[in-house]
Structure 1
Amino acid sequence: MSVDLLKLVEYGGCSAKIPAKQLEEILKFLPLPFDPDILVDIDTHDDAGVYRINDELALVLTTDFFPPVCGDPYEFGQIAAANSISDVYAMGGDPVLALNIMMFPAKDLPMEAYAEILKGGFDKAAEAGVRIIGGHTIDDSPPKYGLAVVGFIHPYKIITNAGAKPGDKLILTKPVGTGVIMTAQRMGIADQADIEEAKRQMKLLNRTGAEVMKKHGIRGATDITGFGLAGHALKMARASKVSMNINMKNVPLIGKAYNLVDDGCIPGASFRNMEYAENDTSFAAELDYNLKMIAFDAQTSGGLLMSVPPEKANSVIVDLHLAGLTSSAIIGKVSGKQDKYIHL
């Protein structure tokens, strides 16, 4: 089947998110329900909601969907599912059940493409041990796909974006640059090897990183998606009431992402993310412009950003590398609240 989903979209993957600045304005009008069993809600803009069932069990609930980030329907389904499930991993939970969310233009695409998207999602969910038990579809263009996911977690073992502490080291588990590389693909200037590596990273479940987090008792983390590394770090710093210092020279990059920015391949989402974060960010005089823009590059199904006690940092890195996450690196540190939340 020869179908190129990218011909139907302008923005794909997590770069299609509403800009963070607008989203925060919208959320101001959303009332917060009061219930002592709601353990995590939208107050800190965390990755998922958490609801306590009893003293031993809480539910992690999240949903995510977006337009295609790649041309192949099956791979799109895989990436969208991995991205949806990631929020449960970021909270330290075990994903269990999911529902499909699908918007599909029946008049523009063959039903075989629809089936391939769902199959990609099913296979990636099965890899994660998640059972897809239903869903909902509407006729809409461009196509969009994702999951509503339910996971289990112990109420006293939740990992949140409010758990960063001064002195912690910041560890990133995946390289960044998916937004730049997939944009370069649409422009016809990306190397095929970089495209394949970007898709591999997006299809890679954050399960291994989550297992390492839980092994070491990490309590502060988030996953890096549409608001970019700096944008999600900012949300984490605000929630934790700390500042974060990120050394962009230590941030792992996918392939030639740096050179592509140098060639002018800067996705529009990068500028929207920078507009959101720049008032709360200080930029070192020596910060390279390319790395500055990569800090705001919208990631799709990106890695975990962990806040790790300094005495555990080296052991966490060793375990991540042994588990196959060989790009994992210490990229910065947490300090007490300063004049700016983020320092690049």
Structure 2
Amino acid sequence: MDSNTIKLTQFSPAAGCGCKLSPETLREILAPVEIDALEDSTSPLLVGNSSRDDAAAIDIGGGRALLSTTDFFTPIVDDPFEFGQISATNAISDIYAMGGHPTVAIAILGWPVDKLAPAIASHVLAGARQTCREAGIALAGGHSIDISEPIFGLAVSGLVDIENLKQNNTAQSGDTLFLTKPLGVGIISTAIKRGKAQASDIELASQSMRSLNRIGPSLASINGVNALTDVTGFGLLGHLTEIMMASELDAEISWSQIPKLPNLEHYVEEGCVPGGTGRNYASIAQHLPTLNETQLAILCDPQTSGGLLVTVQPEAIDEVAAILEGAGLPFNPIGRLSKQLNEKATLRLSD
């Protein structure tokens, strides 16, 4: 089977981060077994799983922390090399989202050897290796298994100055929200699986997913950047709701200011909506306003290798916007956080 003609997305029912368990299911799994090591004053663990953050952080002394994360998923594009690039970009993003610099990665590969030639897996690894080189790190090894459908990802380590360590539970009332990549890659990937995606739309989505969130450490070092996370499988509203709940805040976002890939409304009308979208919505519906079909499909769309969601104090808005604009990233604010008014965090959507 030739890697130039293979369609990897046909080998799995879900694509990219759309194959993640829903937030509600994940909470149900983790609740009985969670141990909060942060309660132990002697533990070097600075960030664990209590706030569903992007990476674990361990104090290693000298004002620095070791970051550790892993991420893997099923194919979101048909091209093996691009699948490797996107998987690596997505995994490395968790380090950037904590304000850190990646240092080393190891690969996680599951491959159906009776369905797909090993040579195709080599192309996946080659794509990942190229992305790791772009990030300035080595792909230093890994682990592989024979499995019924292809999966690939990385476990990544990084370092961060503790004073620049960013989490998703440190946002403040009055913070402005920025999003550094357009939404919609889950919708486009579903259109790819159904043979309905235009080549130009596929390329824009792929370019976005292959773009490293290397701006994360620069943003984290700015006084007034309070919280940082990357938008992945739970969609924009899922990850924003995590910030709201962890920081006990409400939010208002502007539909017109949210960056989106082109032609998404057309694909939604064609029914190209990932199954994960509905699960994402159901997990946070109690916090949301009434959404029309298009708004729900885009705002709850499972993102793969999505952008950074940044919360910024008023005095730092201009500096953050200038850095984003200089990097060629979306730089218009998309919303604002405010004091939580009711028992549960609530999101409002404006035009």
> The TM-score by the shorter chain falls in which range?
over 0.9
Unpaired runs of at least 5, structure 2: none
Distance in 1, Cα, partners of 2:85 & 2:187:
20
Which AA in structure 2 matches 1:193? S
User: Equivalent residues in 2 for 1:169-180 (5 A)?
Assistant: 169-180=176-187
Displacement of 1:176 in angstroms is 0.3
Q: TM-score, normalised by structure 1?
A: 0.95
Query: Are 2:258 and 1:251 equivalent residues in the alignment?
Result: yes
Secondary structure in structure 2 of the residue aligned to 1:100: strand
Task: Determine the C-alpha separation between the residues in 2 that align with 1:77 and 1:238.
Answer: 34
Give the CA deviation at 1:313.
Answer: 1.4
1:10 to 9, 13, 18: 13
Closer/same/farther in 2, CA of residues 112 and 328 from structure 1, 3 Å limit: farther
Aligned counterparts of 2:249 and 2:56: Cα–Cα separation in 1? 22
Extract unaligned runs of 5+ from structure 1: none
Report % sequence identity: 38
- Tell me which of 17, 26, 29 is aligned to 1:26: 29
Contact 1:258 1:291 in 2 (8 A): no
Q: Secondary structure at the match of 2:334?
A: strand
Aligned to 2:171: 164
3-state secondary structure, aligned to 1:188: coil
* Cα RMSD (Å): 1.4
Distance in 1 of aligned mates of 2:309 and 2:20: 20
Please name the residue that 1:101 is paired with.
108
1:100-145 CA-partner distances (Å, limit 9, x unpaired): 1110111211121111111111110111112121110011121100
Kept in 2: contact 1:248–1:295 (CA 8 A): no
**Contact 2:165–2:220 (CA under 8 A) maintained in structure 1:** no
Query: Which residue among 229, 234, 242 is the counterpart of 2:241?
Result: 234
AA aligned opposite 1:26? I
Note the alpha carbon deviations across 1:38-66, whole angstroms, 9 max, x for none: 10000000111100011322101100000
Report if aligned partners of 1:224, 1:303 keep a CA contact under 8 Å in 2. yes
TM-superposed CA distance for 1:10, in Å, is 0.9
Question: Which letter maps to 1:317?
Answer: A
How far is 1:208 from its partner? 2.3
Superposition map of 1:1-344 within 5 A:
1-2=3-4, 3-32=6-35, 33=37, 34=40, 35-216=42-223, 218-283=225-290, 288-325=292-329, 327-339=330-342, 340-344=345-349
Pick which of 2-11 and 204-213 moved more: 204-213
Q: CA deviation at 1:265?
A: 2.3
What is the one-letter code of the residue matched to 2:272?
A: C
Secondary structure at 2:164 match in 1: coil
Helix, strand or coil for the counterpart of 2:333?
A: strand
Query: Does the CA contact (< 8 Å) of 1:173 and 1:209 recur in 2?
Result: no
Give the CA deviation at 1:263. Answer: 3.1
Contact 2:187 2:267 in 1 (8 A): yes
Q: 1: distance between equivalents of 2:43 and 2:100?
A: 20
